[in-house]
Each structure stands twice: as structure tokens, then as C-alpha cells.
Amino acid sequence: MPKRSIPLSDTQIKKAKPSDKDYKLSDAGGLHLLITVGGGKLWRLAYRFDGKQKTLAFGTYPAISLADARQRREDAKKLLANNVDPGAIKKAQKASTVAVIENSFEVIAREWHGKFRHTWSDVHANTLMERLKRDIFPYIGAIDIADIKPPVLLTVLRRVESRGALDTAHRNRFMCGQIFRYAIATGRAERDPSADLKGALPPVKFGHRAAPTDPKDVAPLLRAIDDFSCTFIVKSALKLLPLLFCRPGELRMAEWAEIDFENERWNIPAERMKMKEPHIVPLSRQAIAILKDLQPLTGSGRYLFPSLRSTQRCMSDNTLNASFRRMGFEKHEISAHGFRAMARTILDEVLQFRPDFIEHQLAHAVRDANGRAYNRTSHLAERKKMMQVWADYLDDLKSR
């Protein structure tokens, strides 16, 4: 009679010590434990398939117990009984797992972040990654990006909304949309589920003036502008709107000949002003930096913000408001003209500048005690200081 192998016991396995070379402890049915020189205890199954001797690894002891190893042996034998190679199945499963990991939302999001980080400030780049790690990765980071459906993404966004961070939830939807579109462009997804969620979150309420006038609501709007994906020309105009709080038409039609870098001011001619009086807009350091970044791109032409179709025309009157709609803000929440109300309210109630300084900077009709209109240079030094304080205040709000 053939000699029968004696099944292993946990006691025998625990007592097994390394030797000067690898050796095996056999169980039954081809299952054995390989004891390595280094002290490792590795489960292996010896089997034959298609006339060839093969070995299948089951893992290490004690992570894989004796009972677990025996169950895996029986599973493998069922596959063999159906003329299926268990080793080939394991390789296919491993390849599938690797593919899922490589195409997971987190892997692609980190790739996207690394690809575009150089286009952002360090503060903005860090903010995006912090939001990903806090709000997104724990819930859908491990999922194949092609398998993420709108209801799954909405659940993630509503977690953020439920903690009272509705603005952050909107910004997260926008950021996820950028990541999904990057996955589509690189062939790892077919559609952007965030696009189906427009209107699924409550709108951020900024009040009846179509602009936030409460300082706590201003920072989310400024960050939304920074996060917005658009052309450099449009982004420059959007960034200047809150800094200058001029009428949108005045900004759209601004010409390089009107910008006086030496005296740090923008001279708007009378024919372009509502009151038909020339107007001076003092330029803060932040505004000058934006203009100097823009100058190499459009400075050889007439307009700061030329039309995409022709450099002989300025940006269309719908571009700025359409940008806010694309950010997810509705008409009653924000408009390009609304930044004037925002500045007037906060400069008066929070920063406590004289109302006549503010009204004059808004290019409203301001008259002296004798009923005479002030000229364009009235209170210019005070207005210059006010515009710099305003720009610094907005930077401080955005960084909180």
C-alpha cells in the first residue's frame, strides 16, 4: 500500500523552525508549507495541468491559517475538475485588480493634480489636495473611475453639504468634473457624472443684490473664481472684477492705452462712462500684477480683453455672467455688476471708508456742499489708499 501523508496540525506548524535550506511540511492533496531559511512559512499547492507540473501560492502563515489553506486547495481542485487552471485564474484576477487600482479615482485624481499643479498657486494646489483627501478619497478613491455613477458622487457631495459646507460641496463637484474630464481625455472614462448633478445641490445663497455683501460669503466666491477653468483672458477679467468694482462694460472695453503703469491708474475716457465724465481707477498691487501677466498675451492689441473671434472687438457682454453660470451660480446669486454692491457695502460697513470716497470710486454723481460735481482727481490719494486696503482685505478673506 502507498504511504499516506499525515495531515499537518497547527502545533506542528508553530513549532517548525528554519534550517540551513528550505524544506516542506506536507499536508494532503498537494498542499504543503514551505519553511524558508529566513523563517518564512509559505503555503503552496503542487498540481498538474495540461501535462505540466505547476505550483500555486496561497499566502503566508499565520495570515492564511491551516483551515484557510485547505479551503483554497479544495477551491483549486474544483477548478481542475472542470479543466480550468487555477494558476491562470489567479493571474487574471491579479491583473484585474492592478487595472482597477491604476484606474481608480484617487490614482487619476493625483495624476491630474500633478499634471496641472504648476498652473496654480501653492495655496490653491494644497487646498485642492486637502479637499480630495478629506472629502473624496475616503469614499470613492478606490473605485474604478469608469464605474462611478451620478448617485454615488452625489452621496459624497451631500456628506459635505450635511456639515454645513454647501459652497465646498459645489466646489468639490466642479473639481471632480475636471478630474472626470481628464480621465475621458486620457481614455480611462467615457463620461463625466458630475454634469448630471447640476441643480442636485441647493444653490449657495448670496442675497437679493446678486452679489454677497456679508464678508463670510465673499471668500467662497473669490475661491470659485480661482478654481474656475477658462481662458487666461477671461480669468484675468474675472479676477479684476472684485478688485476694481467698475461696471462690467467699462472693464470689457478697457484699452491698453488707458493703463498708466507708472502712476498706477486706469484712465477711462468720458465717452465710455455712464455719466459721460472721465474717471480714474487707482490700481492696487494685486491689480497691477494681473495686468502685467496679461500684457504679454494681449498687450500688442487694442483691448485688454479681446474677443475670441476678432482682436478688433472686445469680449462679449455675456462672457462674464456666463462664466458665473458655468461655476454653478444662478442669476439671482451673482452677476458681474453685483461686485459694485459688494464693495460699496463692505467698504462702508466693515472697512469704514467715507461714503463720498466710495461713491466717487463707483463713478456715481457726487457733489460738494455748493452742488458742484467733483472732478475726476478728487480725493485721488485717499481713493488710492482705499483700493489697496480693499485688495489686501479680499486676499485676507480668500486665505481664511
Write out the catalytic residue numbers. Answer: 247, 274, 337, 340, 364, 374
Largest Cα span, the chain = 126
Supply φ then ψ for residue 267, to 5 degrees: -100, 110
**ω into residue 62 within 30 of 0, thus cis?**
yes
Q: Which long-range contacts (CB under 8 A, 24 or more apart) does 322-328 make?
A: 323/228, 323/230, 323/234, 323/238, 326/228, 326/230, 327/174, 327/224, 327/225, 327/227, 327/228, 328/170, 328/173, 328/174, 328/198, 328/203, 328/204, 328/224
Task: Output the DSSP codes for 80-101.
Answer: HHTT--HHHHHHHHHHHHHHHH
CA distances from 83 to 50, 73, 108 (A): 9, 15, 39
Burial of 327 (0-12, 13-18, 19+ CB in 10 A): buried
Contact residues for 78 (Cβ-Cβ < 8 A; gap 6+): none
Distance CA 217, CA 85 (A): 62
**Is 301:148 a contact under the CB 8 Å cutoff?**
no
Question: What share of residues in the chain are helix, strand, coil (percent, to 5)?
Answer: 55, 10, 35
Distance CA 44, CA 32 (A): 5
Cα first-last separation, the chain: 83
Tell me which H or E stretch contains 137. Answer: helix 137-140
Distance CA 111, CA 48 (A): 43
**Is 222:394 a contact under the CB 8 Å cutoff?**
yes
Q: Report residue 380 as a C-alpha cell.
A: 485721488
Q: What is the DSSP letter of 133?
A: I
User: Residue 267's closest CA among 372, 363, 386?
Assistant: 363
